[in-house]
Structure 1
Amino acid sequence: MTRAEPVLVRGRPARLLFVHAHPDDESLATGVAIAHHVAAGDEVHVLTCTLGEQGEVIPPELAHLDADHEDTLGEFRRDELRGAMTAIGARSQVLGEDPAVGRLSRWRDSGMAGTPAADDPRCWVRSDDGEAVAAVRAVVEEVAPDLVVTYDADGGYAHPDHIRTHEVTRAAVAAMDEGGRPALFGVFTPRSWAEADREVLAALHAPAQAGWTQPSGEFPPSVVDDAVVTHAVVDESAIAHQEAALRHHRTQVTLGPSHTYALSNDVAALLPGREGFARLDLATGLPLPGEPAGERPPLVARR
């Protein structure tokens, strides 16, 4: 099998596991792939490593939930995650959640590097390697997926929790026996797609009318040369399901017209109905090379 070929599944629905750092990451970064595979009849699981307790709250009436006030945002975002995953049709769990003892998660959102939250011994970036890897590995073995999808080595946009999630997930998969080890993919965006999305946003008047600014400057690290992205899920029909999930993440996301959205920074972004991926080297975390030319295959091939 060439490295750019999809994971082959014979005679049954595929089983996929998406591993993310916070509630809403799953719908923003991989909502198209999740919705697409649910619609195809596949079994889709989402593992969320923290409850996003350090997130900024968009609705003013919910500002009291944040970490600087009541510090109850994590519980609220757990409910948002449940609603989003019900809307999109995926199975969901939080890492270390234990309803029997009233524990919603084992680890806490670390916030951005250099903030006080990153020094909290409970936070995800300070998790013990052995405990964290064992916890994620246990979920992978329980789900027994054909493939696992998580962030690239730079965590999409260098968020410390995203980077930690990549590191722990990669180590968990690498620790499994080779015969039962799922394929591991990272999320990447071809530069041509990112440039095209900015052109679409620039042509829309709706984001400006909502008070949002246009994106500018350097792209995040997950935007890479087109040749790096070896697989893709392209499905415009999935956008409606992605938006249905994102409506539940109202503390973090505001949806606009024409498949646009913004986070708390009020920078317009687009839901284009396509997501790119590359298989990751388990030793280095870097994307494995694909074929020099040709269309990008899907994540899964069926026989």
Structure 2
Amino acid sequence: MTDVAPVLFVHAHPDDETLTTGIAMAHLVSAGVPVHLLTSTLGEEGEVIPPELAHLDSAHDDALGPHRLGELRGAMAELGVTHELLGADEARGRLSRWRDSGMAGTPTAANPAAYVNASLDEAAGLVADVIRRLRPRAVVTYDAEGGYRHPDHIQTHRVTRAAVASLPEGERPSLYAVVTPMSWAREDRAWLAEHLPPDSGWALPPVDGEYPPGVVPDEVVTHAVERPDLAPRQADALRHHRTQVTVRGDTYALSNDIAARLSGREGFVRIDPVTGLPMASGEDGGYAATEDFVPRRRAEGEGPA
């Protein structure tokens, strides 16, 4: 039994945790810090990559959710992370309280059971219950844009912020949102252009093209985990999510077949749970001093620290 307070990660669907915070999770575990994952939905509306599993999707057997739960268990065992589903009720045979809403603009978001339609008070109350039970030193989730504006990611941000803000001020853990420094995003696209085999079958993201809203100016990023040595462990965990992700060496692709890099680094910004605004790296409440997340050291000319 460890006396070290855990770090709680709150994500929307299975695979989100490994894609966006797998390095941080592996880093924390390697440092002896317990990591716990709270997943909001089973990702029932996800697209399925392997043809032999296509029947699982919501248009056919609608059995993708339980299958993705199995994938999640494998990935978290790989990373050494404990996990649970938001609002799960074994007595009622309910794996999760809400259902995947689907991508923005899809009709599945109109489903009353979709997470995007969840009562903010109810969902935040359930997350707050988990926080009170675990007493984590920090909570990590998405930024206000959900990384790439997925409705469930945005809802997870709203719910998690509300949960932390609902606690007495002296009992609130530090709250972090996942973001990527623009310089990293540009470096990764340039790296892909040089290293992706031309016969990979995957498309290259344009080096000078648009970036998702989770890519932010470097000066916004207050904390980072830079552990390229842990990228193989992240890749091994991602391979469990085979309905959603294809991994090849230092690269991966989702169902859109656009290549992405496993760079071994992840950025974060500490945010105020009440306002949602970034907090300066000097206001860390002691958390950064543990070196679990460290204040990002910027290169000369990148902007203020």
* Deviation, structure 1 residue 282: 1.7
SS in 1 for 2:252: strand
Say whether residues 1:213 and 2:203 are aligned partners. yes
After TM superposition, the score normalised by the length of structure 1 is 0.91
Deviates more, 1:169-178 or 1:92-101: 92-101
Count how many residue pairs are aligned between Structure 1 and Structure 2: 285
- What's the CA shift for 1:284? 2.5
Deviations 1:215-252 (A, max 9, x none): 12211101111010010001112112111110110000
Q: Distance in 2 between matches of 1:289 and 1:35?
A: 25
Q: TM-score normalised to the size of structure 2? A: 0.90
Q: Verify the 8 A CA contact 2:222 2:269 in the aligned structure 1.
A: yes
Q: Can you list the C-alpha shifts for 1:56-108, whole angstroms capped at 9, x where unaligned?
A: 00000000000101111001001110111011100010101122221111000
1:27-176 equivalence runs, <5 A: 27-176=18-167
Residue of structure 2 in register with 1:279 after alignment:
270
Q: Secondary structure at the match of 2:99?
A: coil
Partner letter of residue 101 of structure 1? R
Q: Deviations for 1:256-275, whole angstroms, at most 9, x for unmatched residues?
A: 12x10000000000010000
Structure 1 199/72 Cα, relative in aligned 2: closer, same or farther at 3 Å? same
Does the residue aligned with 1:255 lie in a helix, a strand or coil?
A: strand
Percent of aligned positions with the same letter in both sequences? 58
On the 8 A contact 1:24/1:249 being kept in 2, the answer is: yes
Equivalent-residue separation in structure 2 for 1:194 and 1:14 (angstroms): 32
Superposition CA RMSD, Å = 1.6
2:201 paired with 1:231: no
Could you give the per-residue CA deviations for residues 147-185 of structure 1, whole angstroms, max 9, x where no partner exists?
Answer: 000000000001000000000000000000111110000
Aligned mates of 2:164, 2:253 — CA distance in 1: 33
Q: Give the CA deviation at 1:209.
A: 1.9
Secondary structure in structure 1 of the residue aligned to 2:36:
strand
Unaligned stretches of 5+ residues in structure 2: 283-287, 295-305
Query: Paired residue for 2:243?
Result: 251
Contact 2:225-2:293 at 8 Å conserved across structures: no
For residues 168-209 of structure 1, the C-alpha deviation after alignment (integer angstroms, 9 at most, x for no partner) is 000000000111110000011110000000111000133x32
Equivalent residue letter for 1:154: E
| Partner SS state of residue 209, structure 1 | coil
Give distance in 2, aligned partners of 1:205 and 1:105: 38
Deviation (angstroms), 1:144 = 0.8
CA contact (8 A) 2:15 2:238 kept: yes
Unaligned runs of 5+ in 1: 1-10
User: 1:4 corresponds to which residue?
Assistant: none
Q: Displaced runs of 4+ in structure 1, greater than 4 A? A: 296-301
**1:204 maps onto 2:195 in alignment:** yes
Aligned to 2:297: none
Aligned 8 A contact 1:231 1:299 in 2: no
| Counterpart mapping for 1:251-270 below 5 A | 251-257=243-249, 259-270=250-261
Q: Distance in 1 between matches of 2:162 and 2:223?
A: 22
Secondary structure in 1 matching 2:8: strand
* Residues 101 and 115 in structure 2, CA contact (< 8 A), matched pair in contact too: yes
Is the partner of 2:164 in helix, strand or coil? helix
On the 8 A contact 2:12/2:39 being kept in 1, the answer is yes
Deviation of the 1:290 alpha carbon = 3.9
Among residues 155, 179, 185, which one is paired with 1:188 in the alignment?
179
